[in-house]
Amino acid sequence: MSEVAQTPLHALHVSLGARIAPFAGYDMPIQFKSGILAEHLHTRTQAGLFDVSHMGQAFLDGPDHETTARALEALCPADILSLAPGRQRYTQFLNAEGGTLDDLMATRPPGANGRIALVVNAARKADDFALLRAALPRNVTLTVRDEAALVALQGPLASRVLARLAPESGVETMSFMTAQPIRIAGFDAEVSRSGYTGEDGYEISLPADEVEACARLLLEQPEVAPIGLGARDTLRLEAGLCLYGHELDETIDPIEAGLSWSIQKRRRLEGGFPGAARVQAALARGPARKRVGLRPEGRAPARDGAEIVDSSGARIGSVTSGGFGPSVGAPIAIGYVDAAHAPIGTPVGLVVRGKALPAYVAALPFHPHAYYRG
Give 135-184 pLDDT, tens digit per residue. Answer: 999 999 999 999 999 999 999 999 999 999 999 999 999 999 999 999 99
CB of 77 within 8 A of CB of 259? no
3-state secondary structure of 72: helix
pLDDT given for residue 160 in this prediction: 98
CB of 178 within 8 A of CB of 92? no
Write the single-letter amino acid at 325.
G
pLDDT given for residue 318 in this prediction: 98
3-state secondary structure of 62: coil
Eight-state DSSP code of residue 348: E
3-state secondary structure of 283: helix
pLDDT given for residue 112 in this prediction: 82
pLDDT given for residue 2 in this prediction: 66
Residues 234-285 have pLDDT tens digits of 999 999 999 999 999 999 999 999 999 999 999 999 999 999 999 999 999 9
CB of 183 within 8 A of CB of 189? yes
Identify which of 333, 363, 334 has the alpha carbon closest to the alpha carbon of residue 346.
363
Identify which of 119, 131, 117, 125 has the alpha carbon closest to the alpha carbon of residue 61.
117
pLDDT given for residue 3 in this prediction: 87
Sheet strands (E) in the chain: 5-6, 19-23, 26-31, 47-51, 56-61, 87-94, 100-108, 115-120, 141-144, 148-154, 179-184, 187-192, 201-207, 224-227, 289-296, 307-309, 315-325, 330-338, 347-352, 355-362
pLDDT given for residue 1 in this prediction: 46
Q: Going from the N-terminus, what domains does the chain have, and what CATH number goes with each?
A: 5-53+149-238 (3.30.1360.120), 288-374 (2.40.30.110)
> In whole angstroms, how far apart are CA 92 and each of 76, 224, 273?
6, 32, 11
CB of 78 within 8 A of CB of 263? yes
Cross-strand partners of 54: none
Tell me the mean pLDDT per 10 residues along the chain, length 374.
Answer: 88 98 98 98 98 98 98 98 98 98 98 95 98 98 98 98 96 98 97 98 98 98 98 98 98 98 98 98 98 97 98 97 98 98 98 97 98 95
347-352 vs 315-325, strand pairing mode = unpaired
